[in-house]
Structure 1
Amino acid sequence: MEALVSIITPMFNSEAFISETINSVINQKYKNWELILIDDNSQDDTLKVVQPFLEKHSNIKLLINSENSGAAVSRNKGIDYANGDYIAFLDADDIWKPNKLKVQIQFMETHNCDVSFSSYDLMDESGSPMHKMVVALKTLSYQKLLKSNYIGNLTGVYNANSFGKMTSPDLRKRQDWLLWLAAIKQSGKPALGISEALASYRVRKNGISSNKVELIKHNYLVYHKGLGFSKMKSLYCMLIFLKEHFLVKSKQTKVIRN
């Protein structure tokens, strides 16, 4: 019997994209999954959009925050509720390819892998392909991940049976990076990357990656607040991060030729 995969999807004012996201899960070739939607007090019609899915699919569940609490709180709430052998993540504006779970779970079971991730394609805000792919590293140690976040959260999966449920600190941004650091550290083994692009990431105009000042600020908080490093050590880590991010990680993005 296939292992159960719990998929965690926070939502906030996601009416424009959430149907496509949910359908990408429904269309998975791997069928033993539960999708846990966590609404973070949306002010648009997100809940109306997801209601027909809830009525039709018993393995799609909805949790509702009484106030806007941020992605970390929402993800952690979903993780606590999850029943899966594996925990996966999919944000409310991204999509999975139909073979995503089938390929990834088989890969993890074959390689006795606790944490895995994959390459992913980029699409613009309207969903049109940008003909670019972010290529996953083959292996990823804790020390390498500490330099920069190499795991696209929409592709990450961890084995909850191996080391329990992992949650993330309550930071408004970049909390997924901290979760993957904790998972690899707890596992004691490097994460393994899958070269095939198994998902598509939506590049938003107001995303954190488009604002370099915000990027630096939130990454500093990962080191100082999330990991508890001193100010001096956090600044040192930021220098390493900037070098890694702009000189090494940027080379991961490749143009896809038609």
Structure 2
Amino acid sequence: MISIITPVYNSEKYLKKSIVSVQAQTHTDWEHILVDDCSSDDSEALIKSFQEKDNRIKYHRLDKNSGAGIARNKAIEMAQGDYVAFLDSDDQWYPEKLEKQLNFMQENGYHFSFTDYDMVDEAGKKLAKYVKCKPVVTYKSALYKNPIGCLTVIYDVNFYGKQYMPSIRKRQDYALWLHLLKKTDGYGLNECLASYRSGNESISANKLDLVKYEWKIYREIEGLSWFKSAFYLLSAVVLKLKSYF
């Protein structure tokens, strides 16, 4: 069974399409665990309306607003599957996502995988931007820039055990990928199997705020020297800026 991890916070606007994309999977042996980070909209009612008709859907509400990383970790704690997959509440999967990716992993003996994905705007219209994953990602190559889309990841619980995200507000998924890559390389399936909903992609104060979290990952979580941390942070910034041109 595959446990699908979804953090939820005021996601009513897009959540239905996300859940329906899971229910449409050709691989049907899954549980969808949605952890509500204290939403103030009708996300809870929406999830429970699905839960009443499909017992593969699980719901949990946190006691206080804690961020996506904590919500994901609670879902991982609840997970009972042999694999863990991630899907944010405003993103969607193509119907054969789980089937194709699971076959890709099992046929090749891979324990950590990800795929290509496309991007849609707030209205769900497909954008020209398409993100192609690397066929192989190593720990060292991932230090330069996060090359993995969270909505595409599956990891093997029987190989890794349950692995959690660090308790930081942002970039916690990247920190988890680095942790997984220390044990084995990650492998990309070059087929578009997911859609990421894009907001404002401009360079803003919010985007620059991510730099602080990236530095925190390099220095505090990975324990890299000041020089190496500065080198990889500069590399990540340069690569991100190139993607805008």
Q: TM-score range by the shorter chain?
A: over 0.9
Distance across 2 between alignment mates of 1:84 and 1:207: 38
Matches within 5 A, 1:37-56: 37-56=34-53
Matches within 5 A, 1:91-170: 91-170=88-167
Match of 1:215 in 2: 210
CA gap of 1:108–1:210, structure 2 versus 1, over 3 A, is farther
Match of 2:223 in 1: 228
Match of 2:194 in 1: 199
Q: Could you list the per-position Cα deviations for residues 190-242 of structure 1 after superposition, in whole angstroms to 9, with x for gaps in the alignment?
A: 11101111000000238988944223233222212332334444222212222
Q: Could you list the per-position Cα deviations for residues 59-89 of structure 1 after superposition, in whole angstroms to 9, with x for gaps in the alignment?
A: 1001110100111111111111101111000
Distance across 2 between alignment mates of 1:125 and 1:86: 30
SS in 2 for 1:102: helix
Distance across 2 between alignment mates of 1:92 and 1:207: 22
Distance across 2 between alignment mates of 1:100 and 1:77: 24
Match of 2:75 in 1: 78
SS in 2 for 1:56: coil
CA gap of 1:244–1:101, structure 2 versus 1, over 3 A, is same
Deviation of 1:51 (Å):
1.4
CA gap of 1:71–1:206, structure 2 versus 1, over 3 A, is farther
In structure 1, runs of 5+ residues without a counterpart are 254-258
| TM-score of the aligned structures, taking structure 1 as reference length | 0.89
Distance across 1 between alignment mates of 2:203 and 2:38: 21
Per mean C-alpha deviation after superposition, the further-off stretch among 162-171 and 89-98 is 162-171
Q: Could you list the per-position Cα deviations for residues 2-26 of structure 1 after superposition, in whole angstroms to 9, with x for gaps in the alignment?
A: xx00000000011101111000000
SS in 2 for 1:44: coil
Alpha-carbon contact 1:171-1:226 (below 8 Å) kept: no
In structure 2, runs of 5+ residues without a counterpart are none
Deviation of 1:144 (Å):
0.6
The alignment covers a number of residue pairs equal to 245
Alpha-carbon contact 1:21-1:96 (below 8 Å) kept: yes
Match of 1:66 in 2: 63
Per mean C-alpha deviation after superposition, the further-off stretch among 233-242 and 119-128 is 233-242
Match of 1:256 in 2: none
| Runs of 4+ in structure 1 over 4 Å off | 206-211
Alpha-carbon contact 1:208-1:215 (below 8 Å) kept: no
Distance across 2 between alignment mates of 1:127 and 1:144: 32
Distance across 2 between alignment mates of 1:6 and 1:210: 35
Distance across 1 between alignment mates of 2:7 and 2:93: 15
One-letter amino acid matched to 2:64: E
| TM-score of the aligned structures, taking structure 2 as reference length | 0.94
One-letter amino acid matched to 1:200: S
Q: What percent of counterpart residues are identical? A: 41
Per mean C-alpha deviation after superposition, the further-off stretch among 189-198 and 86-95 is 189-198
Distance across 2 between alignment mates of 1:230 and 1:146: 13
